[in-house]
C-alpha cells in the first residue's frame, strides 16, 4: 500500500491542497497575434460572494490562470448584495482580496462593477474604475457619467430589451461604448446584439457572467468560457483599455469567432498553415492543413475545387485531397467561407486557402 | 447561426446559470447495501468562506449532489476565520445558509466545526453539534466535552503526530470516538492512522477537507473524493450518527476500500456477481464477472486456478478463462485476495470468487 | 522504476496483448426490457477483410463485446472482394473464423452477405442464410429468392434512391422485409427512409456498415454505434430472427431513438423513473427524475406545468422544480414530448411524466 | 430532425467513412529537435493479417498518422502465418498494400519481418530489407546474415531470456545491432534489457508489437504507444537507417523517456522553458515553467532550493514559488533530477532548471 501511495503522490497534481509548494497548472489558449498586436484572452464580467456569486475573489484568478485567460474584471453588482447579512458591502475590497494572487500568477486584474437596473434599460458594466463607492446610485445616467469620468469603460450587458432613449443618451455622451454580444453559455439574442453593436459602432464583447465556481480545468475547442479576444499593443491593463476604446476585439463563443471583418480576416489568415501538398496521383492532389488555434475551424467551399466542407480540428493537422486536371498545375488557392467565423449576423467570413509553393510529383 | 444556437440550447446542460428552471444532475456512486443497512456516501470535513474555504455554503451542497454523496458536514474552523474582515464570524450561520438547498436536493446536511489546535494534539472535528458558539474556547478538552454533551461526535483529523496523553484523556472520557484514516487526495500516514484506529477501537473515517471549489462534476473509479461509506439503518442524520457511534463505516480513498473485515467482507461479497460460465472448450472454461460497484476491483490469486491477477473495472463485465481438467467438473470457487480492499495496514481482504451453478458444455 | 512498473501492471488493462490470461471488458448498454421481451442490441451490417473491410472477423466480435452489443451479422459484399489477390473468396469462411470467440464471449453471430448492385436498386443484406456460395449471382431477384428460401431475411441497405419496380417485386414476393433507416454515423436520407419503412410496413433497422476498425472502447450517450434494438422473446439467434420478422425493433442513432409508437411508447415508459418529490416550498415543488437508459432524454413541455425543456442525461438523476398552486395538490402527471424519440419523420413521441404518490410538505 | 442532422454533419468528423472526401486528422507528438537533428517518432515492430495480426496493412498507416508517428515498419512473422488458409504468404506484399496511403499521408514506411525462433535465442526484427523471401529459413544466423547483406538492421525483440552464445555470434558479426528495451504496454524486464543494451553498445529501441487494431485516436501524455525517438539528419528512411546505425535514439514508454545521457541531456534541455519569475514578495519568488513536450515531466530536488518535487504536465505552464533570502539575488539555477528520464536502470537524469535573467521586484 505504501508503494501505491508514493506513486499516487507523483501521479496526481493535488489540485485542491493549499499546500506550501502548491503548483498551479495553466493550459494556454492558442490564437495568433496580429501584426503590431498581441491577442489577449479576457473576461470582463465575473461575480463573487461580494454580490450574488458563490466564490471568494481568489478563486476567479486561479480559474483564469488554469483556463488560459490573460485578463479578468471582477464586476459584482453595485446595488445588489445577496449575502449582505454575512459579507462586507464595500465593493472596493473585491479586487483587493485577489490582487496578490493575480500578481503571482501574472493575471491582469481589473476593478469593475455591474450597474443593475430594471430592463429597460438593463444592466451595464463599468470597468477600469477607481472607486466603486460613489457609483452606488439609483440614477444610471449619473453612474455611467461618474464611471466614465473615473476613466472607466461602460458596456451594455446581455441586452434583453431594445435600444431605448436611455441607451441613446448614454451613447451620445460617450458613457456607453461596448455591448456584450454573447453572455455565458447560451445567447438567444446573439444576432440582435451583433446587429446593434455594428450599427452603433460599439466595442463587441463576450463574457462569462459567471456566478458559481467553474468546473472547467482547461479550455478546449468544445468546452470553453465565452470570452473577448483583445488585440492589444502589449500585455497590460492600460493596453487592454486602449484596445477596448478602439474596438479591437473579437468574441469566442461556443467554438464560434465573432467580430468585425477588419480583425477576423487577419486572425483567420494566421490561424491555419498554408496547405502543404504531400502527393499527386493521377487526378488527385493530397494536401495537409494545420489548424494552429484552439478552436475548430469549419469551412464550406465557395469555388469549384476542394471538399464541399472541411473541418480542421483545433491544434491538429488534417489530410484531404482535391481533384486536379492531369498535366495541369494545381490551383494556388481555394475559395471557401469559414462557417464558424462571423463578420455579421449569419454572415460567415470569406477566406482563401493558399496552397504552398513546391508541389510533389 | 440561429439554428446552431437552438441546437446548443438543447445540447448543453447550462451548469452555471442560476436560471429559474435550472436542472442539477447527479451521478450515483454504486456500492451495495448490506443486510439491514443502506450504504451512505458521506464527507464529514468541509470548509467554506466562513473560515478559510473559498466558496459559499450552497456550493458544497450542489457539489455533494452531483458527485453522488448522501450526507455532508460543514466543518469550518471554530477558532480561525481567515476572512473575518469581510465575512461574519457567527459559525452557526454556515449550515443555515445551505439548509434550503439541501432540503430541495435531499442532501443530509450536518452542523459541525473544526477545533483547531497546534500539533500535538492537532485538529478535531465535532459534528452533530447544536450550538458552535460555546465551542470557541482555547481549551480542547473543554471543547470536546461540550461538543459531546451537545450530542456531538468528535474525531481526530488528519493525524500528523503521535497519540499523546491528551488523546488518551479525550478517548477515555468518550470525547474522541473517530479518526480520519484518509484526508483529501493523499495521505502519507495512512498505514499509521489505520493502525491507531484499529488499536484504539475508533470509528474509521475518510473525508475531503476541501477548501477550494470542487472541479469534479461526477465521481468515477479513477477520480473521486475521499469519503466515508456509512452503513446506516436508514437515510437520515439520526441513522448516520447511530452508525458512526457503532463504527459501521469504510473509507473510499483513491480507488481503495479501507475498513474492518466485519464490513468489508459482506461489502465485497455483494460487489461482484457470481462468475458466469459462457463456454467450455478442452481444458479451458470461459467466465464473465460483473463488477456492480463504482470502484475498480483488483484481485490476486491465492489458490492454484485462475489468472494470477484480475482487474474488474467498475460497472463493467469482464471475460476471462481458467484452466480446467478435461472430463472433471470445474471448481466451484476461486480463492483470491482483493488487493485494493484493506482490512489492516498492508493487509488485503481474502475473498472467494464463486462460479455460478450450471455450466456450459 | 521497478516499483513504477509493477503499479502499471495493476493499473492498465492490457487491451492489446494476445496474452494467455487476457481479459476482455464490456460496458453494457442500458435500455429497459419490454413486457415479454428482452431488448437486444444488434448490428446487422458489418465488413471484414474478406470483402472491403480492413479487419479480421474476430475483431468484430471483440468490438461487439466491449461496446455492449448482443448480436452481430458479418455481411461482406458477396460480389466484391477488394483483397481477392491476397484473401480467400470463400464467403462462408467469414463467420467460421470468428465463431469460437463469439461462443466464448457469448455474442450471437449471424452469417450474412451484402448483395451489391448498382443504384437503383442498390445494396441489400441477406442475413440468417446457410450458404453464401449460390448467392453470388448477377440477378438480384434470384439472390433474394434463394436467400429467403434458405430461411434468410433480406433488407434494403442505406437507400440512396427511389422505391422502384424491382423493390416492389422483391417486396410483393416476401423477398424484401426490412429497411436500414440509418446507416453509419450520418444519414441525410433518414426522414425519407423512415417514411418508406412505415408506408411499406418494413422492419426498421439501423446498422453501422463499418469497414475500418472501431476506435470506440465503449458506448456512451454521445458516442455510440448506429444499432438496432430488437425486442426478442429470448437471447438467441432464433428469437432475433422471429422478432425481425414481426418488426419488433427500434433504431438508436446519434442519441435518437427511432421506431414505431407501438414499441417506443412502452420503451419510454420504462426508461425513466417516476418523478420523486423532494421538497415543497411555497409555490414550488422540487422533483427528481432518474434516466435509467444509456441515452440522454430530451423533453419539451406540451402542457402548462413544468420546465419548457428538460434534458435528462443518461444514467443520471436530474433535479428540477415545477410551479404549484399553494394549498392545492400538485398535478399527478406532466404532458411532454420526447424530442429525441421519433415515431415518424419529424414526429416526436408524446409522453406523460408521472409524479410519484406521496408528496413532501 | 433535419436541422439536427445537418448540424451533426458539421460536428462529427466521420472517422470511419471511406468517403471520397474523407479527412484524416493527426495530432503531433511534441518533442524538441536536437542541434543538427530532427526528432522522429517511430515504431519498428507491427503486425498485420499477413501473420498473426488482425488488420489490413493500410490500417497501420492511418493509425500512425493520427497518433503523430513519422515512421513505421511492418514486421510480420516470417515463419508464422496464422491465417495462411485464407491469406497470401508472400511477405513482400505486406508493405506494398499500404504504400500508396503512406505516400499520401507522408508516413515513412519500412519493409521488415520478424525472425521467430524459440527462446533462446528468441525473436528478432530485420528492417530495411529488400526481399523477405530468402529470409524464411530455419537458421537464425543465416537469416540475420542475409538481412544484413541486404542492407538491413537487425534487433532483438522483447528479450525474454539471457544473452547466449548465439547472441554473441550475431553481435560479433554485426548481424545484431539493436535491442527492444520496451515492447508494448508493459515490460517487466525493462531494467534488464536496458542494462544489456548499454553493456553491448546496442541501439536502444521501444516498439508497440501491436497485433489487434489500435483504439487510440491520438497520443497523450497518459496514453501513448511505446515508441522510439530517432534523432535523424532529416525526415527520410535513409536518415532513419543512418541514425539507428549510430544509436541516436531514445524510448518513450508510459510517460518515461529512456536512453543514453548523451541524447537525453540535450533533449531535456530543450523540453522546458527557462523558469520565468512573475513576482517577488518577501522571502518568496514566484516562477512559471512551460513544458514544451507531449510528456509530463517529473522532477525531484537535489539541491536546497525549490519544491521537493515538481510535476510539469505536458504542453502546460506550471506556476510555483521558491524560498529566497530577502535582499539577496535569487539563485540562477536549481539542481533537480528528472525522475521519468532514465539514463540507466534506476538512474534518473540530473538536470539544472535555469531561472530567466530579469527578475521582478
Tell me: the pLDDT tens digits for B95-118?
A: 999 999 999 999 999 999 999 999
Task: Let me know: does A271 contact A245? Beta carbons within 8 Å.
Answer: no
Instruction: Give the pairing type, strands A203-207 and A227-232.
Output: unpaired
Query: Is there a contact between D241 and D218 (Cβ–Cβ < 8 Å)?
Result: no
Phi, psi of D109 (to 5 degrees): -120, 115
The mean of the pLDDT values for chain D is 92
pLDDT value of position A327: 86
Cα–Cα distance between A240 and D39 in angstroms, integer? 39
pLDDT band, very low/low/confident/very high, at A141 (cuts 50, 70, 90)? very high
User: Chains that contact D by 3+ CB pairs under 8 Å?
Assistant: A, B, C
pLDDT tens per residue, range A92-124: 999 999 999 999 999 999 999 999 999 999 999
d(CA D325, nearest CA chain C) in Å: 36
Nearest CA in chain A to D361: A103
State which residue of chain B sits closest to A212, comparing Cα positions: B16
Cα D217–D220–D224 angle (5° rounding)?
75
Predicted confidence (pLDDT) per residue in B51-71, tens digit: 999 999 999 999 999 999 999
Tell me the β-bridge partners of D39. D231
Residues 6+ apart with CB under 8 A from D191: C1, C2, D345, D346
The average confidence (pLDDT) of chain A is 92
| pLDDT for the residue numbered C358 | 62
Chain B positions touching A184 (Cβ under 8 A) are: 16-17
**Which of D278, D281, D298 lies nearest to residue A105, judging by beta carbons?**
D278
The whole-angstrom separation of Cα A275 and Cα A305 is: 14
Instruction: Mean pLDDT check: name the lowest of A16-30, A207-221, B134-148.
Output: A16-30
Chains interfacing with A (3 or more CB pairs < 8 Å): B, C, D
Note whether D4 contacts B4, CB cutoff 8 Å. Answer: no
Task: Specify whether the CB–CB gap between C296 and C271 falls below 8 A.
Answer: no
Using an 8 Å CB-CB cutoff, list chain C residues near B23.
307, 310-311, 318-320
CB A47 within 8 A of CB B241: no
d(CA D73, nearest CA chain B) in Å:
32
Contacting chains of B (3 CB pairs or more, <8 Å) are A, C, D
Below-70 pLDDT ranges, chain C: 1-21, 358-361
Of B26, B100, B318, the CB nearest to C317: B26
- What residue of D is the nearest CA neighbor of B5? D7
User: Which residues in chain A are closer than 8 Å to B54, comparing Cβ atoms?
Assistant: 55-56, 58-59
Please, what is the average pLDDT of chain B? 92
Residue bearing cell 471543547? B143
Per-residue pLDDT band at A163 (split at 50, 70, 90): very high
Cβ separation of A52 and B18 shorter than 8 Å? yes
Total Cβ atoms within 10 A of residue B153 = 25
* Predicted pLDDT of residue A2: 35
Compute the average pLDDT of residues A154-176. 96
**Beta-strand (E) ranges in chain C?**
24-26, 38-43, 71-74, 108-116, 123-127, 153-156, 178-183, 203-207, 227-232, 249-253, 256-259, 276-281, 284-290, 297-301, 309-312, 317-323, 333-344, 347-354
Percent above pLDDT 70 for chain D: 93
pLDDT tens, position by position, D185-242 = 888 899 999 999 999 999 999 999 999 999 999 999 999 999 999 999 999 999 999 9
List phi, psi (to 5°) of D167: -60, -40
Cell numbers placing C264: 417506443
Instruction: Tell me how far apart the alpha carbons of residues D33 and D229 are, in angstroms, rounded to a whole number.
Output: 10
Question: CA end-to-end span of chain A, whole Å?
Answer: 60
pLDDT tens-digit series, residues A232-279? 999 999 999 999 999 999 999 999 999 999 999 999 999 999 999 999
Smallest CA–CA distance, residue B27 to chain C, in Å, is 5
Determine the residue among D13, D21, D27, D358 to mutate to test chain A binding: the one whose Cβ has the most chain A Cβ atoms within 10 Å.
D21
Q: Residues near C93 by Cβ (< 8 Å), separated by ≥ 6?
A: C50, D86
pLDDT tens string A333-350: 999 999 999 999 999 999
Nearest to D281 by CA among C89, A105, B72, A93: A105
Q: Which residues of C touch A (CB under 8 A)?
A: 3-4, 6-7
Task: With CB atoms and an 8 Å threshold, state whether C214 touches D210.
Answer: no
D87 contacts in chain C (CB < 8 Å)? 49, 86-88
pLDDT digits (tens, 9 = 90+) for A80-98: 999 999 999 999 999 999 9
Do residues A287 and A265 make contact, with C-beta atoms less than 8 angstroms apart?
no
**Residues of D with Cβ-Cβ distance to A105 under 8 angstroms:** 278, 286, 319
Residue C92: other Cβ atoms inside 10 A: 13
Question: How many CA within 13 A on the CB side of residue C280?
Answer: 15
Residue B20 reports pLDDT greater than 50: no
Contact check, Cβ <8 Å, C315/B27? yes
* Residue-level pLDDT at C360: 56
Share above pLDDT 90 across residues of chain B, in percent, rounded to a whole number? 90
Q: Which residues contact A288 (CB under 8 A, 6 or more apart)?
A: A275, A276, A278, A317, A318, A319, D26, D106
Rounded Cα distance between A105 and B34, Å, is 49
pLDDT in tens, D165-188: 999 999 999 999 999 999 998 888
ipTM above 0.90?
A: yes
Please state, as a whole number, how many other Cβ atoms lie within 10 Å of the Cβ of residue B80: 11
Angle, alpha carbons D200-D205-D208 (nearest 5°): 145
Identify the residue among A1, A2, A7 best suited for mutation to test binding to C, counting C beta carbons within 10 A and taking the highest.
A7
The residue that leads in pLDDT, A160 or D13, is A160
Asked if A319 and A358 count as a contact pair (C-beta separation under 8 A), the reply is: no
Work out the minimum CA distance from D328 to partner chain C, whole angstroms. 39
pLDDT per position as a tens digit, B304-321: 999 999 999 999 999 999
Taking contacts as CB-CB distances below 8 angstroms, the residues of chain B near D4 are 7
The shortest C-alpha distance from C226 to chain D (Å) reads 13
User: Which pLDDT score, from 0 to 100, does residue D1 have?
Assistant: 36
Chain C nearest-CA distance from B31, in A, is: 15
CA distance B112 to B237: 13
Cis peptide before B121 (omega within 30 of 0): yes
Sign of CA dihedral D135, D138, D140, D145: negative
The length of chain D is 361
The average pLDDT across B41-49 equals 98
Decide: C35 and C72 in contact? Cβ < 8 Å: no
Amino acid at each position: 500500500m505504501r508503494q501505491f501511495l508514493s506513486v499516487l503522490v507523483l501521479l496526481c497534481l493535488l489540485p485542491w491542497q493549499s499546500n506550501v509548494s502548491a503548483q498551479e497548472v495553466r493550459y494556454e489558449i492558442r490564437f495568433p497575434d496580429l501584426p503590431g498586436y498581441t491577442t489577449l484572452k479576457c473576461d470582463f464580467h465575473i461575480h463573487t460572494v461580494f454580490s450574488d456569486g458563490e466564490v471568494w475573489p481568489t478563486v476567479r484568478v486561479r480559474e483564469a490562470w488554469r483556463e488560459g485567460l490573460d485578463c479578468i474584471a471582477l464586476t459584482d453588482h453595485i446595488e445588489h448584495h445577496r449575502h449582505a447579512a454575512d459579507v462586507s458591502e464595500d465593493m472596493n475590497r473585491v479586487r483587493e482580496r485577489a490582487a496578490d494572487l493575480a500578481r503571482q500568477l501574472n493575471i491582469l486584474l481589473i476593478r469593475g462593477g455591474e450597474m443593475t437596473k430594471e430592463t429597460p434599460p438593463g444592466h451595464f458594466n463599468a470597468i477600469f474604475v477607481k472607486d466603486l463607492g460613489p457609483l452606488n446610485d439609483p440614477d444610471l445616467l449619473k453612474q455611467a457619467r461618474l464611471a466614465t469620468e473615473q476613466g472607466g469603460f461602460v458596456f451594455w450587458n446581455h441586452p434583453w430589451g431594445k435600444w431605448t432613449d436611455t441607451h441613446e443618451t448614454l451613447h451620445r455622451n460617450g458613457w456607453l461604448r461596448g455591448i456584450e454580444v454573447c453572455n455565458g453559455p447560451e445567447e438567444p439574442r446573439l444576432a440582435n446584439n451583433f446587429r446593434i453593436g455594428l450599427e452603433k459602432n460599439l466595442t463587441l464583447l463576450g463574457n462569462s457572467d459567471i456566478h458559481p465556481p467553474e468546473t472547467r480545468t482547461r479550455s478546449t475547442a468544445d468546452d470553453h468560457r465565452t470570452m473577448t479576444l483583445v488585440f492589444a499593443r502589449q500585455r497590460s491593463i492600460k493596453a487592454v483599455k486602449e484596445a477596448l476604446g478602439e474596438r479591437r476585439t473579437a468574441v469566442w463563443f461556443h467554438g464560434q469567432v465573432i467580430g468585425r471583418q477588419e480583425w477576423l480576416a487577419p486572425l483567420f489568415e494566421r490561424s491555419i498553415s498554408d496547405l502543404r501538398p504531400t502527393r499527386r496521383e493521377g487526378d488527385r492532389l493530397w494536401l495537409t492543413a494545420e489548424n494552429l488555434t484552439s478552436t475548430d475551424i469549419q469551412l464550406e467551399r465557395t469555388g469549384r475545387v476542394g471538399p464541399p466542407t472541411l473541418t480542421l480540428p483545433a491544434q491538429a493537422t488534417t489530410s484531404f485531397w482535391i481533384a486536379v486536371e492531369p498535366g495541369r498545375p494545381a490551383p494556388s488557392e481555394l475559395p471557401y467561407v469559414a462557417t464558424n467565423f462571423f463578420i455579421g449576423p449569419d454572415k460567415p467570413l470569406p477566406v482563401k486557402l493558399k496552397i504552398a509553393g513546391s508541389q510533389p510529383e
